[in-house]
């Protein structure tokens, strides 16, 4: 079974790595040389065809091959896959994993950022989400003196700054029991979970809930419409340390627009809630980024900068 899966993943990543495609002969030649094929097994045409069918069924990938393409096997719906963030990320992860398996001398030269407790509970949570089962978890936030028991309806999960979060509704929350029409969706970090298990009790996720829409106006993980309004925030981004180029290549938010360009700076706008995680990120860029408006967001930054100056005796 292990070799069976490794062969599938190897073929999948070769297809992903080669947009122009590969012929069957090229697959056979590469398979004979790769460290993934540690047993030195062959790759018969029938086995290869079976692998292609399994990959198509499992990943929703269309694999095409015709005479005009020189009978080169390639991913036919690559553009569609690249729009699917999860599948694109998954295929990229498989490609990296395959390269590390294929080149053992690379394993100690590829470094990953650790994700605290992500692997401990993530699979259990995803399984519960798949079956719409309520989760019973013992959870202790940093500001809690004692752990609390939560009966959670798990709506979605999200990773942000090396931490996995689960988002859902706590059935033990009195506010949810008193107001069924407006249930409070909350977030919980997986690294603060003490114990977790799925129950047999089911729940129905609201038909109008969309994880993507829920985070539309969020910078990171904080969604709080009671405390924050979505604002069009104007930022002056300088060329100090090439910050302008960094923000162009990795936007702060999907709503980011570069609305004015000058020789040594640009004005960008983003439409987000100016939450704690957004403010902290702006501060992390120091004098390279300046909030221009709204004024109350600018004043929040000013107050924090003055507070920092006081701490350093400036």
If asked whether residues 82 and 38 sit together in one domain, one would say yes
CA 58/CA 94 separation, integer angstroms: 14
Same domain for 196 and 278, yes or no, is no
* Residue recorded with tokens 């996995």: 164
SS3 57: helix
Q: Do 151 and 78 share a structural domain?
A: no
Q: What is the CATH number of the domain that holds 206?
A: 2.30.30
Query: Quick check: is 221 in a domain?
Result: no
Domain match, 93 and 24 both = yes
Query: What does the block give as tokens for 234?
Result: 């104007």
160 located within any domain: yes
pTM, two decimal places:
0.76
For residues 242-280, b (16+ Cβ closer than 10 Å) or e, as one string? ebbeebeeeebbeebeeeeeeeebbbbbbebbbbebbbe
In a domain, 219, yes or no: no
Q: How many structural domains is the chain composed of?
A: 3
In 3D space, the residue among 220, 13, 174 whose CA is nearest the CA of residue 99 turns out to be 13
105 and 123 together in one domain: no
The reply to whether 69 and 139 lie within a common domain is no
Complete edge-to-edge strand list for the sheet that includes strand 289-293:
257-261, 265-272, 231-238, 289-293
Task: Verify that 197 and 271 share a domain, yes or no.
Answer: no
Q: Is the preceding peptide bond at 255 cis, omega within 30 degrees of 0?
A: no
Output the tens digit of pLDDT for each of the chain's 314 residues. 556 677 888 888 888 888 888 999 999 999 998 877 878 888 999 999 999 998 888 777 889 887 777 789 988 877 776 666 666 666 666 667 666 666 666 777 777 777 776 667 888 898 899 899 999 999 999 988 899 999 999 999 999 988 899 999 999 887 776 555 677 899 999 999 999 999 999 999 999 999 999 999 999 999 988 888 999 999 999 999 999 999 999 999 999 999 999 999 999 999 999 999 999 999 999 999 999 999 999 999 999 999 999 999 98
Same domain for 243 and 202, yes or no, is no
Q: Structural domain of residue 244, as residue ranges?
A: 231-311
């Amino acid at each position: 079974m292990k070799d069976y899966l490794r062969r599938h993943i190897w073929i999948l990543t070769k297809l992903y790595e080669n947009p122009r495609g590969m012929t069957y002969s090229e697959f056979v030649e590469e398979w004979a040389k790769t460290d993934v094929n540690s047993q030195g097994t062959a790759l018969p045409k029938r086995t290869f065809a079976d692998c292609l069918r399994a990959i198509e069924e499992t990943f929703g990938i269309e694999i095409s091959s015709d005479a005009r393409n020189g009978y080169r096997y390639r991913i036919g719906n690559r553009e569609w896959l690249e729009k699917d963030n999860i599948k694109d990320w998954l295929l990229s992860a498989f490609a990296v994993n395959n390269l590390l398996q294929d080149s053992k001398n690379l394993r100690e030269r590829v470094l990953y950022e650790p994700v605290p407790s992500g692997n401990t509970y993530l699979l259990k949570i995803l399984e519960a989400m798949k079956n719409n089962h309520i989760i019973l978890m013992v959870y202790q936030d940093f500001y809690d003196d004692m752990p609390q028991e939560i009966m959670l309806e798990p709506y979605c999960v999200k990773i942000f700054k090396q931490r996995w979060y689960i988002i859902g509704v706590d059935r033990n929350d009195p506010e949810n029991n008193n107001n069924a029409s407006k249930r409070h969706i909350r977030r919980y970090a997986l690294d603060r979970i003490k114990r977790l298990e799925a129950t047999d009790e089911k729940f129905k996720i609201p038909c109008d809930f969309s994880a993507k829409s829920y985070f539309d106006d969020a910078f990171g993980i904080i969604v709080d419409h009671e405390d924050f309004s979505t604002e069009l925030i104007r930022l002056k981004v300088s060329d100090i340390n090439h910050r302008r180029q960094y923000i162009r290549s990795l936007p702060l938010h999907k709503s980011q627009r570069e609305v004015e360009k000058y020789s040594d700076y640009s004005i960008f706008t983003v439409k987000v809630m100016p939450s704690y995680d957004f403010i902290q990120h702006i501060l992390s860029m120091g004098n390279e980024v300046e909030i221009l408006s709204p004024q109350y967001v600018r004043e929040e930054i000013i107050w924090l900068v003055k507070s920092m100056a006081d701490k350093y005796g400036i």
